[in-house]
Amino acid sequence: MGVNIRGRSFLTLLDYTPEEINYLLDLSAEFKRLKRAGVDHSYLKGKQIVLLFEKTSTRTRCAFEVAGRDLGMGVTFLDSKSSQMGNKESLADTAKVLGRMFDGIEYRGYKQSVVEDLAKYSGVPVWNGLTDDFHPTQMLADILTAKEEFGDIRGRKLTFFGDARNNVANSLMVVCAKLGMHYCACGPKENMPKAELVEKCREIAKTTGATITLTDSVEEGAKDADILYTDIWVSMGEDKALWEPRIKALKPYQVNKEVMAMAKPTAIFEHCLPSFHDRNTTIGEEMYEKYGLEAMEVTDDVFLGTQAREFDEAENRMHTIKAVMYATLK
Ligand code: CP
Ligand code: NVA
C-alpha cells in the first residue's frame, strides 16, 4: 500500500511509522537529485506558507525559505518581536488567523504543546522546526546523511555524546528506534533522557530490531559506533548560568580524536550545528577566557576531519524539509 501523509502535521517522529519515515527519506533523495540536476520542481505553485520563529535560526529558517521557494510557494517569515503572537493575541487566535491565510505553518519555539496547539487550531499542516523537546526535521537530514554514507542503516550504531536529554538527542533516540538502529545515549546520569520517552522508544525498538542503551562510559558509547553525534552543551532557551556546571559535567564526553579512534574505522561524525569547535564565536571565546577551553562538544580536528559530515547534514536539511512540505501539502 502506498504511503499518503497529505494534510498531516509533522510535530514529532513518534507520530510517524517506519514506512512513512522511509518514504520521506526517499523523497528527500529525489528532491536532492532534482535540485542538483537543475530540474524545475515548483510543484506547489500558488500555495503560501508562514514560518514562525520564537528562537533564532540559520539552517532551519533558510532550509524552509529555499525549499518553499523551490516548490513555487510564497513564504512569509514572522518572529515573536514583529508579530502579535503570544503578546497581544493568544496562540489559538493566532493559529486560527494563520490557518485562514496559509496552507502550512512552520514553528520554532519552546514548549512542544505550542506546536501541538498550532496544529489543533489552525486546521493546516504544522511543521516542528525545533521545540524544547524535539527537532524532527533535523533527524531526517541526519539519517539521509547516514544513508548516503552506509546505504542500509538498519543495525548501525549511533551514539550521542553529551547532553543526551536535549531536543536533538530525544529525536535521535526516536528515529533510531523507528528505523531499527542501535541508539546509545552517552553522558552523565543527570543528562539522560526522561524515563517515559526511553520506555516508549524501547517499546518501538521491540518491533524494529533497534536497541536503546544509556551509558556514562565513553568507551562503551564509542565501541562499534558507526555514527558519533554531539550537540552544544547548553541549548537555546536554557539559563546561561548552566554553562559552568555543564562544562564540568560534559567535558569528559567531548568528541575528540581519542573518542573517534575507539569507534569503527569507517565511523562518521555528525552534528546538527551550530557548534563550538573553536574560539571563533562570541560564546566560544568567552568560554576560552573563563575556562581555558579551545573547543567544547567537539574538537576542531574532528570537526574539520575526514570523518565529519556536518555540512552534508546542513545541506540535507533543505532537501528533507522540502520533502516534508511537499508530502503534507501536495
Ligand atoms: N540545526 C539547526 O536547527 O540549525 P539552526 O538553529 O541554525 O536552524
Ligand atoms: N539543542 C540545540 C539544537 C540547535 C539546533 C538547541 O536547542 O539550541
pLDDT digit string (tens) for 194-223? Answer: 999 999 999 999 999 999 999 999 999 999
pLDDT score recorded for residue 43: 98
Report how far ligand 2's centroid is from the alpha carbon of 174 (Å).
Answer: 17
The residue whose CB lies within 8 Å of the most ligand 2 atoms, and thus the one to mutate among 60, 108, 232, 239, is: 232
Q: Which residue do the cell numbers 548501525 mark?
A: 156
* Pocket (CB within 6 angstroms of ligand 1): 57-60, 130, 138, 272-274
User: What confidence category does residue 183 fall into, taking pLDDT thresholds of 50, 70 and 90?
Assistant: very high
Q: State how far the alpha carbon of 280 is from the alpha carbons of 8, 58, 113, 313, in Å.
A: 41, 17, 35, 21
pLDDT score recorded for residue 88: 86
Range list of H helices, 228-309: 243-250, 257-262, 282-291, 300-303
User: What confidence category does residue 59 fall into, taking pLDDT thresholds of 50, 70 and 90?
Assistant: very high
Q: Give the chain's mean pLDDT.
A: 97
- φ, ψ dihedrals at 32, nearest 5°: -65, -40
Q: Which residue do the cell numbers 514572522 mark?
A: 78
Of the listed 59, 138, 142, 226, which one is catalytic? 138
Q: Which three cell numbers stand for residue 196?
A: 517515559
pTM: 0.97
268-271 and 157-161: which strand pairing? unpaired
pLDDT score recorded for residue 159: 99
Atom of ligand 1 nearest to the CA of 273: 1
User: What confidence category does residue 169 fall into, taking pLDDT thresholds of 50, 70 and 90?
Assistant: very high
The residue whose CB lies within 8 Å of the most ligand 1 atoms, and thus the one to mutate among 53, 55, 60, 108, is: 60
Q: Give catalytic status of residue 100 as yes or no.
A: no
User: What confidence category does residue 228 fall into, taking pLDDT thresholds of 50, 70 and 90?
Assistant: very high
Q: State how far the alpha carbon of 255 is from the alpha carbons of 93, 172, 174, 276, 294, in Å.
A: 45, 17, 22, 12, 13
| pLDDT over 90 at 80, yes or no | no
Q: What residues contact 53, with CB distance under 8 A and at least 6 apart?
A: 61, 77, 78, 79, 80, 108, 109, 129
% of the chain beyond a pLDDT of 70: 100
Atom of ligand 2 nearest to the CA of 272: 5
The residue whose CB lies within 8 Å of the most ligand 1 atoms, and thus the one to mutate among 273, 297, 312, is: 273
Report how far ligand 2's centroid is from the alpha carbon of 232 (Å).
Answer: 7
Q: Which three cell numbers stand for residue 164?
A: 543526551
**Residue 78 forms beta bridges with which residues?**
52
| pLDDT over 70 at 9, yes or no | yes
What are the pLDDT digits (tens) for 293-304? Answer: 999 999 999 999
User: What confidence category does residue 1 fall into, taking pLDDT thresholds of 50, 70 and 90?
Assistant: low
**Ligand 2, atom 6: closest residue by C-alpha:** 235
Q: What mean pLDDT comes out for the span 306-325? A: 98
Q: Which residue do the cell numbers 514548549 mark?
A: 111
Report how far ligand 2's centroid is from the alpha carbon of 177 (Å).
Answer: 21
What are the pLDDT digits (tens) for 109-131? Answer: 999 999 999 999 999 999 999 99
pLDDT score recorded for residue 106: 98
Q: State how far the alpha carbon of 93 is from the alpha carbons of 82, 107, 299, 302, in Å.
A: 17, 15, 46, 47
| pLDDT over 90 at 178, yes or no | yes
| pLDDT over 80 at 79, yes or no | yes
What are the pLDDT digits (tens) for 261-289? Answer: 999 999 999 999 999 999 999 999 999 99
Of the listed 182, 231, 271, 309, which one is catalytic? 231
**Ligand 1, atom 7: closest residue by C-alpha:** 58
Of the listed 176, 184, 186, 272, which one is catalytic? 272
Please state at what angle helix 167-179 crosses helix 195-208, rounded to 10 degrees.
20
Nearest 5°: the CA angle 84, 318, 81 is: 15
Report how far ligand 1's centroid is from the alpha carbon of 95 (Å).
Answer: 24
Q: Give catalytic status of residue 231 as yes or no.
A: yes
